[in-house]
Amino acid sequence: MQIQENVPLAPLTTLEVGGPARYFAEATTVDEVRAAIDFSRSRNLGLFVLGGGSNLVIADAGWPGMMLKVGILGIDHHHGTPVVFDVGAGEEWDAFVSSVVRHQCAGVECLSGIPGSVGGTPVQNVGAYGQEVSQTIVSLDALDLTTGEVKELFNEDCQFRYRTSIFNTRARGRYVILRVRYGLHYHGSPSIEYADLKKYFAGWTTTPTLAQTREAVRQIRASKAMLIVPGDEDCRSAGSFFKNPVLAPEQFEELAMRASARKLTIPSFPALEAQKKVSAAWLVEHSGFSKGFGYGPVGISRKHALAIVNRGGAKAEDIIALRDQIQERVEVIWDIHLEPEPVFVGF
């Protein structure tokens, strides 16, 4: 394993902003992960684990410590009920989903087209189009930085919630995820619960296959610039920049009254028990930030109101300025604070 110095990080992220890492290493084995951690500790450096770079905003000053990319590969599967896929954290997520679908296993087909690596999926409980990885994760192996031991953490240990887990809340920075095991269903039916998918398959007289569902998801994501397409500046983003707010009933009622006063109807759907999940994209668009909004090198995707995009030459400070502007305006108009989805590094 080679430890490099002053490595540019912007090219390693989908948003393509940010400065360099003081030190950078890609570890392909557990021993190499340990060696990189020992190196950072011997120099009293901060440690950040880089996945696929799809959900990051890196500061213009970069990262002053060790940037560790976990490149552990390998996909094994064990037949049973469910079929368990044991996957290295460095595997590309969408390639893994493609492999699962080829094996005719259901459970992650609606998560097709999401950029990034397998190791990043448990951290934010990645979800889309009616599925979340927490529905399929059986367990994972993680290096505990407090003890130096590799632990197997089971689903319940991860405390998954909407876009959260212990890895981005109370145990942030404690673990390095090495492998993830997913329990999937052989010859299972695809999940066609999300409105966009129901619309896509409306009029079909046969049940879509897993492969057809995967292709539908990828086409829908492409229509919203949520599929990485080389040369498309609307894809130069960190994906959905804000989480959909989950509101208590009284909060939702107040929001509905504000919308009614403006002769608007809020699109919503049940999320958690006795709560409502509201479209962050709707809040953004009805706060004056329409698709295509922007100035200079930063703006909002022309295809999706939730994606802040780098139109070319943007700096992290430009991204942050637009984030702050959107949050402030939504809070003034709707009395809702939008929480960002990306991880902010070096700020």
What residues are labeled active site?
A: 163, 240, 341
Q: Is residue 6 packed enough to be buried (19+ CB in 10 Å), middle (13-18) or exposed (0-12)?
A: exposed
Cα–Cα dist 73/91, whole Å: 5
Residue given tokens 């590094």 in the structure block: 345
Dihedral class, residue 234 (left if φ above 0, else alpha if ψ from -120 to 50, else beta)? alpha
- DSSP-derived letter for residue 229 is -
Look at residues 174, 166, 140, 169 and name the one whose alpha carbon lies nearest to residue 154.
140
Preceding amide of 82 cis, omega within 30: yes
**87 bridge partner residues:** 75, 180
Q: Considering only the C-alpha atoms of the chain, give the largest distance between any 2 of them, rounded to a whole number of Å.
A: 63
Phi and psi at 268, nearest 5°, equal -150, 165
Phi and psi at 313, nearest 5°, equal 85, 10
Cα–Cα dist 89/3, whole Å: 20
Dihedral class, residue 292 (left if φ above 0, else alpha if ψ from -120 to 50, else beta)? left
Look at residues 346, 275, 289 and name the one whose alpha carbon lies nearest to residue 315.
346
| Contact between residue 4 and residue 302 where contact means Cβ atoms under 8 Å apart | no
Cα–Cα dist 131/111, whole Å: 7
